[in-house]
Amino acid sequence: MVEVLESSFVVPSEPTATERLRLSNIDQVARPVHIGFVYFYQGNQAKDFFSVETLKASLSKTLVLLYPLAGRCVVGQDGRNEINCNAEGCLFVAARSELTSDEIKFEPSSELQKLFLPSADFPETPLSLLVMIQGLIGMKN
C-alpha cells in the first residue's frame, strides 16, 4: 500500500544559535500538542518530478532561519515550557504509493493517525516543534 523510501532527521545546514527561549504566559496554559498536516503530490511521467534531496536541502536551509523549529519543547528549571534551540532537527519521511487519492480513505481514525503522525509524550520526552515532514509521492490523481 505505502512504501517508505526514507526516514531521516534533517538538521540546519549551518550553525544556529544555542539558547533557550521561554514561551509566553499564554503558551504556558495549554498543553503542547501537534497539529498534523500531510501533503500529497501527484506523480507524473517524469522520472525525477519529486526530488527528496531538493526538499531536504531546502528544509535544512529553512531551519537555519527558523532555528527554534529545529529545537525541542522542554520544561525549564522553573517549571515553565521553553524551546531548547539545540538544532536536533526534524524527522523527514518520504514514501511512495501507487494508489489513487480516491483509494485512500481519509476519515479520522487512530489507524490513520498512527500511519501519518508520530506520537510524543511531553514532558517525559522532549517535544520536537517541527516533528515530521512527510511526503507521499507517486500517487495517481
pLDDT at 135: 43
Q: Which residue has the cell 509524550?
A: 121
Peptide bond into 123 cis (omega under 30): yes
Residues 6 or more apart whose CB falls under 8 angstroms from that of 7 comprise 91, 92, 93, 94
Per-residue pLDDT at 140 exceeds 60: no
Task: Yes or no: say if 116 and 76 are a contact pair by the CB < 8 Å rule.
Answer: no
CATH number at residue 84: 3.30.559.10
73 is written with which cell numbers?
519543547
What percent of the chain is modeled with pLDDT above 90? 21
Structural domain that includes position 134: 3-139
93 pairs with which residues across the strands?
A: 7, 134
**Model confidence pLDDT, tens digit, residues 54-79:** 889 999 999 999 999 899 888 889 98
**Strand 39-42 relative to strand 132-139: parallel, antiparallel, unpaired?**
parallel
As for how many domains the chain has, the answer is: 1
Q: Is pTM beyond 0.75 here?
A: no
**Model confidence pLDDT, tens digit, residues 103-133:** 766 666 676 666 666 555 545 556 666 544 4
